[in-house]
Amino acid sequence: MNAAVEKRRLRIGVLTLVLAGLFTLIVIRIAVLLALDGSRLNSLARGEHSEQVTLTAPRGPIVDRHGEALALSAQAFSIFARPARLLRSVKAAERARLGAALGLDSKELSARLNRPAHFVWLARRVPRAQADQVESLGLDGIGVVSEYKRYYPESNLAAAVVGKAGADDQGLSGLELQYDRLMRGGPVALVEDRDALGHAILDTPMALRDAAPGARLELTIDSQIQARAESELAKEVRQSGARRAIAVVLDPFTGEVMAMASVDAHGDSDRLHNPAVQDVFEPGSTIKGVLAAIALEDRAIGEHQKIFCENGEWALGGKQIHDHGRHQWLDLQGIVEVSSNIGAAKIALTLGADRYYRGLRAFGFGRPTGIDLPGEAGGIVRPARTWQQIDLGNHGFGQGIAVTAIQLASAYAAIANGGVWMRPFVVKAAYDAGGNPIFVHTPQALGRIISPTVAHNTNVILRSVVNGEDGTGRRAAIDDFVVAGKTGTAQMINASTGAYYQDRLVGSFVGFVPADNPRLVILVVLEDVGHGHMGGLIAAPVFSEIAAGALSRLNVAARRPGYDAAGLLPVSLPDADNWTADTQPTAPQRDRVRDARSVPDFRGLSLRGALRMAAERELNLQVEGSGYVVAQRPAPGERLDGTPIKLTLGENDEIAQAPRLIRRLHSGHRGGA
């Protein structure tokens, strides 16, 4: 009896130890699984019993400065399948009808349904009619969800600026990329639970719920000016055979980009690439306007100092520099007007490498402008220490350096606005779905680079390019407006050899209008044109057409003062039909207006009065000093020969004898702004 009990106890003890050991092993295994593989197994479990689908929110719109839509998101529909359920419950004939509704052949549909996944997309962002057709089939395992599709209501207008959003709503280029996080909004994640057989327990409605729409971008772009720029570029590309054309329109006082256009040889604009900010080119003679401003600011040359231009051919550093004409002695205005390479090279040599390099950098070359567009290039301006003498001379007429279109336009904007470098920008503001501002861009001045006097003098010099008898940019002229600007023609570089092509050119024109009160800076560049296609012949007329349309769009009043009146307010004289005894002009004054064939008498007039008289008779003035006109050359009564009339102003006893009308103007009459 005792032996049997002992034997039973032994068996119970052994079993207890075995069970305890097994339990201990189970506990250890559970601890190991929780500690080491818990998160992975939990994820696998969720994947077996639930499905998550992320649906995008409506992407924010992009509109121009007047609210015209350039990019919108419209409701579309996406069709999905649960392959296992569909293959199990739907016959082959019904699947064929599904393929027909989707526009898929049986082979392609079968390939999608046999993927190792619980959820597959069959079609993304299709029209409502197609989605309704699929739903009407009533197939188990097929569902439709509402999404949003990006489209561009103005087709390719400002395409390179606006950019492109991809199929999954991510920004790929342009502003769509630059402000992607703002415009995407808040996506919605939808989760569906399933049982062990894969059947939905709670069939979550596949629709956007409480999605936060993306931000609305308001641009500085004016759609009408943009359309005019693109149209004129496309026309000139067809006529000149250019490979590509670029135009930039800026407000010089704010830095707002009112148009940024690019057109290729097929008349198309690339949404994925913006050559105005991402590509560089040699500026050629357009750099001479900047060179003139740098030289005047550094006092390396006097405005009227003459430079010998070697009769059109000059050897420097073992190389020959050529002009298009056989010029001899020219002052700064003459060098810019006729676009003398030799004169520009000699000015650059007078400046020296260090001073010219600092000037170019101050004007924004060799570094990004900071415009709010992706992928901006910085241009190419090598350090001054690497320049040889021939490099310095070549840089004087824009060879050996490379700029972007936005850099060159911004540099001329600084000349136009009186010497201040403004950061360019294309987005004025961003607003949330409730219309509340997220940010508002304001004009950003990054510093003065030239004095107002130098800016004024450079302005006058650049007017001669369009208005001067020998100006290379005469085709940029606009009726009833004074234009200031500079032509440019540069040879293209053969990337494989490093040498310049002889018959592949870049023609350009950059300028501002009205020159006496600039509202617009416009740059036109035509790339890869044939021999003889100079900037003054192909780019200047495009500038004129774009500017004329933009001025009309902005309701800028037409007036044509003498082109030496840069930066000075015009004055309004009393109306001749309403002169009173106090304002009645003397007989000599009436004679000044009557005789249009001879030099009028400016003596005793204030500067504003002299400018007004010159404007009425379309005369060009050169002015020195301040106060009232005390001397003039040519003398009153001499025959007009088209040369500028030089006035000397001062304060002396002649002021006391000034006509009563002039004293009235000086003491209080308010002229037009």
Q: What are 538-593's pLDDT values in tens digits?
A: 999 999 999 999 999 999 987 654 444 444 433 333 333 333 333 334 444 444 44
For CA atoms 312, 315, 316, 319, give the dihedral sign.
positive
User: What per-residue confidence (pLDDT) applies to 568?
Assistant: 40
User: Do 168 and 262 belong together in one domain?
Assistant: no
Which CATH number does the domain housing residue 652 bear? 3.30.10.20
- Concatenate the DSSP letters of all residues of 578-604 into one string: G--TTTPPPHHHHHHHH-TTB----TT
For CA atoms 348, 351, 355, 358, give the dihedral sign.
negative
Q: Is residue 47 part of a domain?
A: no
Query: Alpha-carbon dihedral of residues 151, 155, 156, 158, nearest 10 degrees?
Result: -80
Bond before 514 cis per omega within 30 degrees? yes
Q: Which amino acid is at 581?
A: A
Q: Is residue 560 part of a domain?
A: no
The tally of domains found in the chain comes to 3
Which CATH number does the domain housing residue 89 bear? 3.90.1310.10
Indicate the burial class of 316 (C-beta count within 10 angstroms; 0-12, 13-18, 19 or more): middle
User: Do 406 and 453 belong together in one domain?
Assistant: yes
User: Do 209 and 234 belong together in one domain?
Assistant: no
Q: Is residue 393 part of a domain?
A: yes
> In this structure, are residues 364 and 422 in contact, taking their beta carbons and an 8 Å threshold?
no
Chain position carrying tokens 């088209």: 642
622-639 tens-digit pLDDT: 777 656 778 888 888 888
User: What per-residue confidence (pLDDT) applies to 205?
Assistant: 46
Residue 394 has pLDDT above 70, yes or no: yes
User: What per-residue confidence (pLDDT) applies to 196?
Assistant: 53
User: Do 168 and 210 belong together in one domain?
Assistant: yes
pLDDT band at 668 (very low <50, low <70, confident <90, very high): very low
d(CA 659, CA 589): 9
Q: Is residue 262 part of a domain?
A: yes
Chain-centre distance of CA 418, in angstroms? 21
d(CA 254, CA 521): 11
The stretches of 189-331 forming alpha helices (DSSP H) are: 223-240, 275-278, 287-297
d(CA 499, CA 501): 7
User: Do 461 and 367 belong together in one domain?
Assistant: yes
19-66 tens-digit pLDDT: 888 888 887 877 776 776 666 656 655 555 555 556 667 899 999 999
d(CA 75, CA 208): 11
d(CA 442, CA 185): 24
User: Do 213 and 231 belong together in one domain?
Assistant: no
Q: Is residue 435 part of a domain?
A: yes
Question: Does residue 267 come out as left (phi exceeding 0), alpha (psi in the -120 to 50 range) or beta?
Answer: left
Q: Which two tokens stand for residue 410?
A: 């911004």
User: What per-residue confidence (pLDDT) applies to 624?
Assistant: 73
Q: Which amino acid is at 37?
A: D
Bond before 634 cis per omega within 30 degrees? yes
Name the pairing type of β-strands 621-624 and 645-650. parallel
Residue 1 has pLDDT above 60, yes or no: no
Q: Which two tokens stand for residue 276?
A: 């105005």
User: Do 442 and 372 belong together in one domain?
Assistant: yes
Show the CA angle centred on residue 301, arms to residues 300 and 303, nearest 5°.
140
User: Do 507 and 614 belong together in one domain?
Assistant: no
363-377 tens-digit pLDDT: 999 999 999 999 999
Residue 156 has pLDDT above 60, yes or no: yes
> In this structure, are residues 221 and 64 in contact, taking their beta carbons and an 8 Å threshold?
yes
Q: Is residue 633 part of a domain?
A: yes
Helices 587-594 and 607-617 sit at what angle, rounded to 10 degrees? 40
Which CATH number does the domain housing residue 423 bear? 3.40.710.10
d(CA 661, CA 655): 12
User: What per-residue confidence (pLDDT) applies to 50?
Assistant: 55
Q: Which amino acid is at 558?
A: A
Residue 534 has pLDDT above 70, yes or no: yes
315-337 tens-digit pLDDT: 998 889 999 889 999 999 999 99
User: Do 274 and 140 belong together in one domain?
Assistant: no
Query: If residue 106 lies in a helix (H) or strand (E), which one and from where to where?
Result: helix 106-113
User: Do 251 and 212 belong together in one domain?
Assistant: no
Q: Which two tokens stand for residue 603?
A: 């003596």
User: Do 506 and 388 belong together in one domain?
Assistant: yes
| Domain that includes residue 655, residue range | 576-667
User: What per-residue confidence (pLDDT) applies to 192?
Assistant: 56
Last residue of a domain, one of 521, 553, 585: 553
Q: Which of 36-45, 400-409, 493-502, 546-555 has the lowest mean pLDDT?
A: 36-45
Q: Is residue 50 part of a domain?
A: no
User: Do 534 and 596 belong together in one domain?
Assistant: no
Chain-centre distance of CA 632, in angstroms? 46
Q: Is residue 641 part of a domain?
A: yes
Residue 209 has pLDDT above 60, yes or no: no
